Structure 1
Amino acid sequence: MDDALILKYASPVPRYTSYPTAPHFSETVGQAEYQSWLDAIEPGEALSLYAHVPYCDRLCWFCACHTKQTLRYDPVTTYLNGLHREIAAIGGRVNGQAKVTALHLGGGSPTLLRPDDLIALRQAFNRHFQFSSDCEISVEMDPNDLDEARHDALAAIGMTRASFGVQDFDPVVQKAINRIQTYEQTRDAIEASRARGVRSVNCDVLYGLPYQSLSSLEATIDAVLSLAPDRVALFGYAHVPWMKKHQSMIPDESLPGIVERFAQMSRAAEMLVAAGYEAVGIDHFAKPGDSLAIASREGRLRRNFQGYTTDSAETLIGLGASSIGQFRQGYVQNMPATGEYLRQVEQSGLAAMRGYMLTPDDRLRSRVIAAIMCDFAFSFSRLRAEFPECAGTVIEEAKLFRARDVDGLTAIEDGFFRLTERGRPFARSVAAVFDAHLQSGRGRHSVAV
């Protein structure tokens, strides 16, 4: 890939786990709208739940999540009391016949929770929601937190997918990002999960980290492959110290340049595909028999705030500080600050602070951007059928972009706007072409490669 081309399309753009993206949420959408959206959930509707645990016993310098370090468990206990209140309040508003098809525990570090608290959290969900028999229970795992009792508790709550943060196994890189985690720790944690019946394991790997080289990343990928995960998420490190102050602990000069980042991404992807994994979307890889790979081949891949998913539920309810929910009507986000979150749930059981009400144009563009991010293509005829009154605008934008695309990133064939093989690494940049909100100046983003 030509260096000039990489630099041309590396400008900062959103990751598009939603459209519009979170910087465009406002306080014009709040508790009242959230309550009405919860009340509108229909009998038998599929629900996805996300619960956020905003605590870690150490703070990794690379992390861009809403979390904080704590060396005491008392704040966690207080927070869990509030989370239980929110679960009860939302469960009381949601139609009792709605079925939860996916539950994701994220953070922060949900594996920081004590075993009895993990079990109590699942029991709280069971009291207030109805779960489908094949519900997927996924948990973000930090091997440094795990012991036999926690592994047993995770099995007791029915965890079906374990997602392990690896980042990089190189000791120099680990020291630079304050994430010391040996290969042996990771291997033992994965084996313990599998021994208790977990049928799917994901490993997160980062490129673009401080002091990371092509050879060190290759060694990490080799080590990850030896663990035989069912999925690998290959993310580019998002250096956003203006948003996450602790990232200033990472010296700018220690980071690889854009062209080197692209080389790291390309080499890691090449190794994963050579090992038999199928590329899924822009940054995931899965074994051919994994549900994510199957969904990608069948055109059923979806994208939400947790990334790529097979979850088909239209409604995602976010619980906990900073969590974002997605509804047919729009998005809603909880208070990020834990103290204010707890105050709100104590008063009303809900903690919504801002959101966004979707317009017809937003729904159209959301569909187009999701199709680019998931399938690298969208159909003109399907857009016209689903959005007869406004599809023409986006179709003309697609044709205009293709006419000006001197770099061969896209093609229009058989009524489809498609990204070429040359264009797929720049899917975020192409998706941004259809983002009507991007030029408003709200939000700063990480580089696109």
Structure 2
Amino acid sequence: MPDSLLKKYSGAVPRYTSYPTAPHFHEGVDTGVYAEWLQAITDEQTLSLYLHIPYCDRLCWFCACHTKHTLKYEPIAIYLESLRKEIAAVGKLVNRDAVVTAVHFGGGSPTMVRPDDLVDLMAALRDAFRFSDEVEISVEMDPNDLDEPRYDALARIGMTRASLGVQDFHPDVQRAINRIQTFEHTKSVVDAVRVRGVHSVNCDILYGLPHQTEETLADTVRDILSLSPDRIALFGYAHVPWMKKHQTMIREDVLPGIEARFAQMSLAARMLVEAGYEPIGIDHFARPTDSMAIAQREGRLRRNFQGYTVDAADALIGLGASSIGQLPQGYVQNMPATGEYQRMADNGGLAAVRGVAVTDDDRMRRRVIEEIMCRFELSFDALRAEFGADAEAIVGEAGSFAASNQDDICRLVGDRFTITEAGRPFARTIAAVFDSYLANGKGRHSIAV
């Protein structure tokens, strides 16, 4: 890949886990608006639940999540009381016949929650919502939190997918990001959840970390492959110290540059494909028999705030501090500050403080961006069938971009706008062409590669 091409298309753009993106949320979407949106959910619609646990017992310096460090359990216990109140309040507003098909516990570190509290939290969810008999329950796991009682509690709540952050196993890299986690410890977690019947394991790898080289990353990839995970996420480290102050603990002079990041990404992706994993979108890989690989082949792959997903629920309900929900009418985010979130949840149950109602143009552009991010192409005929005459605006924009592009990163092929193999690493940049909000300058983003 020529350096000139990398520099040209690796500018800072959104990750497009939503559209409009979060910098365009506003305070006009409050608890009153959110309550109306929840009450409008019908008995035929399906639900996905995301629960945010904003605590960690160590603060990883690379992390960009909403979380805080604590070595005491009392703040977590108090937070869980407020979370259960929000769950009950949302459950009273949502149509009881709407079925929950997926639950995701994220953080922070959900595995910091004590076994009895985790079981009680799931019981609160089941009291408030109607669950499908085949509900998928995924949990983000920190190996350093886990012990036998927690493994047993995770089995009791019905966990079907375990997601483990690995990042890089090299000691120098781990020290530089304050994330000490041995391969042996990680393997013990994978073995423990599989013994308890978990059918899917996901591992996250990061490239672009301090002191990371192609050699250290290759060693990590080989170690991960030896665990035979069902899915692997290969993310580029997003250095955003203006948003996350603890990232200032990472020295910028030991971060790889754009060319080195691209080489690391390319090497890891090649190793995963050679090992039999199918590439999914821009940063996921899955075994051919995994539901994500099957969804991609069948054109059902989706993208939301958890990244690539097979979750086809009509509404994603975010629960907990900073959680973001996606409903047919738009997006809504809870109060990020934990203490203020607890006050709101304790006083009225709902804690929404901002969001955005989507317009018809937003829905169309969201579809376009999702198609580009998930399938690397856009069918004009399909777009016209869904959005009618409004689609002609997108057809014109796509045609103009393809005609003006001299680097062969995209082409018009029949009725399709197609991203070439050379253009796939820059899918975020190409998707940004169709983002009508980006030019207003709101928000700062990470680089695209």
The TM-score bracket by the shorter chain reads over 0.9
Deviations 1:195-230 (A, max 9, x none): 000000000000000000010000000000000000
Between the aligned partners of 1:134 and 1:376, the Cα distance in structure 2 is: 31
Amino acid at match of 1:224: I
Q: Distance in 2 between matches of 1:126 and 1:360?
A: 34
Q: TM-score, length-normalised on structure 1?
A: 0.99
> Could you list the per-position Cα deviations for residues 183-202 of structure 1 after superposition, in whole angstroms to 9, with x for gaps in the alignment?
00000000000000000000
Q: Which residue of 1 aligns with 2:332?
A: 332
Distance 2:37 2:117 in 1: 30
Task: Give 1:116 shift.
Answer: 0.5
Partner deviation per Cα, 1:328-373 (whole Å, 9 max, x = no partner): 1100000000111011111110000000010111111000000000
Number of the residue aligned with 2:438: 438
How many residues of Structure 1 are paired with residues of Structure 2 in the alignment?
449
Amino acid in the other structure paired with 1:20 = P
Share of identical aligned residues, percent? 64
Extract unaligned runs of 5+ from structure 1.
none
Partner Cα separation in structure 2 for residue 405 and residue 268 of structure 1: 28
Alignment of 1:275-314 (within 5 A): 275-314=275-314
- The equivalent residue for 2:212 is 212
Distance, in Å, in 1 between the alignment partners of 2:379 and 2:30 is 35
2:174 is the counterpart of 1:174: yes
SS in 2 for 1:433: helix
Task: Map Cα deviations across residues 149-184 of structure 1 (whole Å, 9 max, x no partner).
Answer: 000000000000000000000000000000000000
- Any idea what the Cα deviations from partners look like across 1:245-281, whole Å, max 9, x if unmatched? 0000001001000010000000000000000000001
Correspondences of 1:372-387 after superposition (within 5 Å) = 372-387=372-387
> What secondary structure is seen at the aligned counterpart in 2 of 1:285?
strand
The residue number in structure 2 matching 1:424 is: 424
SS in structure 2 opposite 1:388? helix
Structure 1: which amino acid aligns with 2:347?
Answer: Q
| Structure 2 CA distance for aligned equivalents of residues 169 and 442 of structure 1 | 36
> Secondary structure at 1:84's aligned position in 2?
helix
| Aligned counterparts of 2:44 and 2:159: Cα–Cα separation in 1 | 23
Can you list the C-alpha shifts for 1:117-159, whole angstroms capped at 9, x where unaligned?
Answer: 1101100001111100111000000000000000000000000
1:314 is displaced (CA, Å) by 2.0
| Counterpart residue number, 1:230 | 230
> In structure 2, what is the equivalent of residue 67 of structure 1?
67
Residue of structure 1 in register with 2:155 after alignment: 155
- For the residues of structure 1 that align with 2:94 and 2:150, how far apart are their CA atoms? 31
Mapping 1:91-240, distance limit 5 Å: 91-240=91-240
Would you say 1:405 and 2:405 are equivalent positions?
yes
Distance 2:33 2:375 in 1: 32
Within-5 A mapping of 1:336-415: 336-415=336-415
Q: What is the DSSP-based 3-state SS (H/G/I as helix, E as strand, rest coil) of the residue aligned with 2:434?
A: coil
Give the SS at the match of 1:233.
strand
CA drift at 1:414: 2.2
Q: Secondary structure at the match of 1:332?
A: strand
- Asked if 1:18 corresponds to 2:18, the answer is yes
- In structure 2, the partner of 1:44 is 44
Distance 1:415 1:134 in 2: 38
Matched AA of 1:447: I
Letter in 1 for 2:106: G
SS of residue in 2 equivalent to 1:197:
coil
Report the alpha carbon displacement of residue 31 of structure 1 after superposing the two structures with TM: 1.1
Q: How many angstroms apart in 1 are the aligned matches of 2:385 and 2:269?
A: 36
Q: Deviations over 1:284-332 (max 9, x none)?
A: 0000000000001111000000011111112000000000000111000
Per-residue CA deviations over 1:73-106 (Å, capped at 9, x if unaligned) read 1100010000000000000111000000000000
- Match of 2:65, SS state, is coil
Shift of 1:29: 1.2
Q: Distance in 2 between matches of 1:265 and 1:297?
A: 23
Write the letter of the residue equivalent to 1:32. Answer: G
CA RMSD of aligned residues (A): 0.6
Q: In structure 1, how many angstroms separate the alpha carbons of the residues matched to 2:447 and 2:415? A: 31
SS at match of 2:388: coil
Q: Determine helix, strand or coil for the equivalent of 1:164.
A: strand
Q: Tell me how far apart the structure 2 counterparts of residues 156 and 404 of structure 1 sit (CA, whole Å).
A: 57
Amino acid at match of 1:40: A
* C-alpha distance in 2 between matches for 1:4 and 1:218: 26
| Equivalent position amino acid for 1:90 in 2 | V
Partners in 2 of 1:384 and 1:33 — Cα distance?
A: 31
